[in-house]
């Protein structure tokens, strides 16, 4: 018996990194998955390669190894109509929705692109408006199920403290990650009477393609003062996606049934520095 037997979870940014880890972790506990990702290099201010359709299909295969179903689509989280179409198709096929993980994210901080105002707007569009789109397109399905549910928004340690040197890309990242805390608290109050719990999770740096890439490595070398500011208390440079998935599993399972309106930090002590 899994902790999430019979549940269906929607995950944005599911093709790789944290999103893939969340999909596999929830599937291993019995959940079926609705997932989507942009699967194209269509955010101009992002220097590193974004996920591909092959990445998305690999996530599907990993979920299916647990004998769970996954409905996967290519969609841009910035496009509300596209997100709504994914949700409607997934619920039509899988029959219900219980969990929403608004996970899609970018890091538009590197190179000349990170210095442009466009980097600020892209960060807000993906990680704040995109979170709104994901939840707004899906929450009525959880309500309609009548059994409550769980929504987890991926924030960051940068959603609790400032970081960086004030360039537009980093400022946009920090603003978006702070902003989702406001969305979380608003939705926790709005949907609590329906038995829906809403929380944020705040990782330190995670060993995923968003951080573990040539562009970000170069940026750290070029900005040693910021790199020094990014150190954890525990002697680990990056945590693993599974560390965040395990926290999310707690929030989505019966173990977290009375946790809502909470900012869950998984940061190796980063925010205490």
pLDDT digits (tens, 9 = 90+) for 115-128: 999 999 999 999 99
CATH superfamily of the 8-107+130-157+180-260 domain: NAD(P)-binding Rossmann-like Domain (3.40.50.720)
Paired with 9 in beta bridges are: 33, 99
pLDDT digits (tens, 9 = 90+) for 149-197: 999 999 999 999 988 778 899 999 999 999 999 999 999 999 999 999 9
Q: Which residues are catalytic, by number? A: 173
If you search the block for the tokens 């892209």, which residue do you land on? 122
Question: pTM for the complete prediction?
Answer: 0.97
Distance CA(273)–CA(269), nearest Å, equals 7
Lowest mean pLDDT among 12-21, 185-194, 209-218: 209-218
What's the distance, CA 266 to chain centroid? Answer: 14
Indicate the average pLDDT of the chain. Answer: 96
| Lookup: tokens for 13 | 């940014």
């Amino acid at each position: 018996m899994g902790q999430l037997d019979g549940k269906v979870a929607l995950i944005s940014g599911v093709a790789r990194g944290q999103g893939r880890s969340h999909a596999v972790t929830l599937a291993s506990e019995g959940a079926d998955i609705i997932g989507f990702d942009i699967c194209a290099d269509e955010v101009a201010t992002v220097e590193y390669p974004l996920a591909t359709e092959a990445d998305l299909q690999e996530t599907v295969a990993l979920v299916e190894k647990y004998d769970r179903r996954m409905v996967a689509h290519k969609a841009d989280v910035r496009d509300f109509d596209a997100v709504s179409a994914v949700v409607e198709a997934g619920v039509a096929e899988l029959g219900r929705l219980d969990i929403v993980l608004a996970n899609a994210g970018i890091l538009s901080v590197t190179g000349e692109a990170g210095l442009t105002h466009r980097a600020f707007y892209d960060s807000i569009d993906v990680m704040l408006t995109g979170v709104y789109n994901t939840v707004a397109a899906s929450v009525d399905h959880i309500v309609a199920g009548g059994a409550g549910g769980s929504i987890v928004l991926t924030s960051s340690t940068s959603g609790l403290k400032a970081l960086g040197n004030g360039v537009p890309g980093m400022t946009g990242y920090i603003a978006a990650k702070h902003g989702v805390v406001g969305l979380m608290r608003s939705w926790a109050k709005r949907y609590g009477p329906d038995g829906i719990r809403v929380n944020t999770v705040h990782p330190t740096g995670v060993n995923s393609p968003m951080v573990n890439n040539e562009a970000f490595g170069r940026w750290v070398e070029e900005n040693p003062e910021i790199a020094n500011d990014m150190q954890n208390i525990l002697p680990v440079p990056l945590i693993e996606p599974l560390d965040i998935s395990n926290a999310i599993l707690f929030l989505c399972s019966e173990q977290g049934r009375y946790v809502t309106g909470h900012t869950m930090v998984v940061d190796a002590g980063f925010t205490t520095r």
